[in-house]
Amino acid sequence: MFFRACFLLSATLLISTSISAQHFALSRLFYPNATLRADYMPEANMGNNQRYGLSRTSFNGIIPLRSEVDVSFSLRKKFDLRARHFLMLANVSQLKPTQNGIITPDNGYKTASVGVLMLQASLRDRLWIYGGGLGVTESNETFFTPQPFFWGGAARMRILGIHTQIAYGTAVIYNQKFRLIPVFGLNKRLGKQWRVSALLPFRLDVNRRFNEWFNIDMIGAFDGYSGGFQQVMNAEKMFRRSNYQHVKLSVAANAHLFTVFNVSLEAGLGTFRQLRTFNSAHENLITQKPNIAPFIGASVRYITSKSKMSNQFTKKLGLGGDSGINW
C-alpha cells in the first residue's frame, strides 16, 4: 500500500510536464502513450492598436524505459524494499502567435524537447522523484542558432494516509536566465468521486469522476512560451526573443473510449497575460499585456495496454486491474 500511495503522488508531479488537460492516471506512467492536442485563443486587444492571439498544436509522449523492484540488506542487517521506474517525456509543438491577424514571426515557433524522470520508492528512504530535460523553442530563422532551455529538479514525498500525500522540492529552470523555484505538490482524495491534485506554482486540478468512462476537470494553470526570432530593421537582421505567459482557468470534459483512447474537450479563459520582447543581451525592449481572452482546446490520448513489463510491474504494486490499465 505504501508503494501504491507513492506512485499516486508521482502522477500528480507529471501533470506539470504535460499541457494536456486530461485527468492524470497511474497507467500513463507505466505504459507507452501519446497525446495529440490543439489549442486556440482568439486575438484580444493589447494597446497601441494591436491585437494578440495564439494557437498551438502538439504531440506529447511518455515512454517507460525500465522498471525494477529489489530487496537489499545493509551492513547493519537492515532490510529495505526498493522500487524504481524510469520514463522518458517527449514533446513536439507548433506555436502560431498572431498580431493583427498576421502570424508573427513567419510560420510561428517550433518546440522540441525531451526529458527523463526517475521515480524511486523504498521503505527506508521513502519516495523521491528526480528529473531533467532539454529543449528548444525557435522560429525557422533561428532554429539552427538556438538558445536552448533545460530543467531539472527533485522532490521528496510525505504520505499522510492512503488518500492524502504531499510533496516538496526544488526545480531549476534555465530559459535566458537561471531560476530556482520551490515546488509543493498535493494529492488528496475527497470521497469516491472527487480528487484534488496540485503542483504549485504551476497547476491546480480538481477532478469529479462520474463513472468509469467520464470525468470532469476544473483547472488553474500557469502556461506560456519563450522563443527566438529575427527582426529585420534597415536591412539588418537582429536576434530577438519573445516571452509570453498567462494564467489559464478552464473546465475539461474527458471521455474514455474503446479502452485505449481518452478524448478531452476544454474551454476557459486566459488571464494575467503578458508578452515581452528581449534583445540578444536579454534586455527587455517592450512589455505588452493582452486583455483576457477565451480559449478552447481538444486532445486525444492513446495508451497501449500491451506492455508485458509494465503490466507485471503495476500488478506487483497494486496499481491496476487485470489489464493494468487504471484510467
Mean pLDDT to the nearest integer, 90-118: 94
In contact, 202 and 182? CB cutoff 8 Å: no
Tens-place pLDDT, residues 43-88: 999 988 999 999 999 999 988 888 777 776 655 656 667 788 899 9
Q: Which of 23-37, 113-127, 191-205, 310-324 shows the lowest per-residue confidence on average (mean pLDDT)?
A: 310-324
The domain made up of 32-317 has a fold known as: Porin (2.40.160)
Provide mean pLDDT across the span 290-308: 85
Tell me the mean pLDDT in the region 127-150.
91
Lookup result for grid cell 499522510: 160
Residues 247-294 have pLDDT tens digits of 999 999 999 888 788 899 999 999 999 999 998 888 999 999 999 999
Cell of 23: 485527468
* Rounded mean pLDDT, 107-125: 87
Residue-averaged pLDDT of the chain: 82
Q: Let me know: does 84 contact 119? Beta carbons within 8 Å.
A: yes
Given the C-alpha cell 491577424, which residue does it identify?
Answer: 101
Check whether 309 has a pLDDT greater than 70: no
Chain centre distance of CA 229: 24
Average pLDDT (124-139) is: 88
234 contact partners, CB below 8 Å, separation of at least 6:
none
The candidate with the shortest Cα–Cα distance to 215, out of 122, 50, 87, 327, is: 327
Instruction: Kindly indicate the confidence band of residue 94, based on its pLDDT and cuts at 50, 70 and 90.
Output: very high
pLDDT class of 318 with cuts at 50, 70, 90? very low
The whole-number pLDDT of residue 219 equals 95
